[in-house]
Structure 1
Amino acid sequence: MTLVKFNNGQKNRVANPWFNDVFDSILNDTYFTDKMVTKTPAVNIAETDNHFHIEMAAPGLSKEDFKISLDKNVLSVSVDKKSENIEEGKKYSKKEFVYNSFVRSFTLPESADQLNIEAEYTDGVLKLAVAKKEEAKFQTREIAVK
């Protein structure tokens, strides 16, 4: 759920109108949410006759960065990555530390076969395929009218 602020076209013009307009563009909500809030990747979940499919958008990672675990009926995907970039220049040195970490957990239904889970990471998308138990697969048949 996302909270959206509406100002109905009115701005708080306490001191100077120019002052508020400048800070509206610099210190808006997108700046804070992009830079200061930990992001979790977007997920698509689909169901077919034989599998549950989970697709997670996680670009910029490698398959070694992911830790996928199953605890009872909770499937968890986590990443904890630290990278350090150092640039040397004339009379200065700059260090940038970047931490990428998240955990997404999914409660599997009883119809999921917990022994048959596959994961694949290609083109920035982690794809998980959770097979269904044989008795839970959709079975179609024709019923004769008596």
Structure 2
Amino acid sequence: MSGIRERWPGWPVLPDLFGWAEGGFPTAHGTPVLHGIRVEEHFKDGMYVLRAELPGIDPAKDVEITVAEGVLTVRAERTEESKEKHRTEFRYGTFARSVRLPVGAKGDEATAQYKDGVLTIAVPVPEEKAATRTIPVRTG
């Protein structure tokens, strides 16, 4: 990155293009922007596990997790503590992310835990054994 700053001295005053990609283009009317939440997902021991990066929030009052029609939605809000900062790259406002749960996931049995800025949601997904069926071929 230092090479970019050397070639373009005005770089620090240019908008954060990576921030635009993550949170959308800034609005002209100052309406709040809905930021995305970075997630990791995997399967482990019959569970669909979603880990969401949410540092600096109070999970008891600032996080809402819902499951509706096979879609898991995580919503969080981080409020700005002070307006006296000269520069900030922290993101404030509402954060949300929705993911489609795997087929057969039991969303009503989901559990959630928050530790070290990471929200971990586990949803049971029973392993379905597909029965083997022989199909007779008719002739004639």
Q: Smaller-chain TM-score range?
A: 0.5 to 0.7
Change (3 A) 1:37 1:57: closer
1:60–1:124 CA contact under 8 A, matched in 2 = yes
Cα 1:66–1:116, aligned 2, differ >3 Å: closer, same or farther?
Answer: same
CA RMSD in angstroms comes to: 3.2
Structure 2 SS opposite 1:85:
coil
Q: Does 1:33 find its partner at 2:29?
A: no
Q: Which residue of 2 aligns with 1:80?
A: 77
Cα pair 1:49 1:137 within 8 Å, conserved: no
How far off its partner does 1:22 sit?
1.3
Q: Contact between 1:44 and 1:56, CA under 8 Å: does it hold in 2? A: yes
From 106, 117, 122, the counterpart of 1:113: 106
Count of matched residue positions in the alignment of Structure 1 and Structure 2: 109
Unaligned ranges ≥5, structure 2 = 1-5, 24-34, 130-140
2:42 to 43, 46, 66: 46
Runs of 4 or more, structure 1, over 3 Å off, are 32-37
CA 113–99 in structure 1, closer or farther in 2 if over 3 Å, else same: same
Quickly say closer, same or farther: Cα 1:125–1:86, change in 2 above 3 A: same
Is 1:81–1:99's contact at 8 Å kept on the other side of the alignment?
yes
Identity of aligned residues (%): 24
CA contact (8 A) 1:79 1:101 kept: yes
Question: How has the CA–CA distance of structure 1 residues 21 and 126 changed in structure 2, closer, same or farther, with 3 Å as cutoff?
Answer: same
Relative to the length of structure 1, the TM-score reads 0.60
Give the direction of change, closer, same or farther, for the CA distance of 1:42–1:49 in structure 2 (3 Å limit).
same
- Structure 1 match to 2:115: 122
2:87 corresponds to 1:102: no
Supply the distance in 1 between the matched residues of 2:54 and 2:115 (Cα, whole angstroms). Answer: 10
For 1:73, the aligned partner's letter is: G
For the residue of structure 2 that corresponds to 1:112, the secondary structure is coil
After TM superposition, the score normalised by the length of structure 2 is 0.63
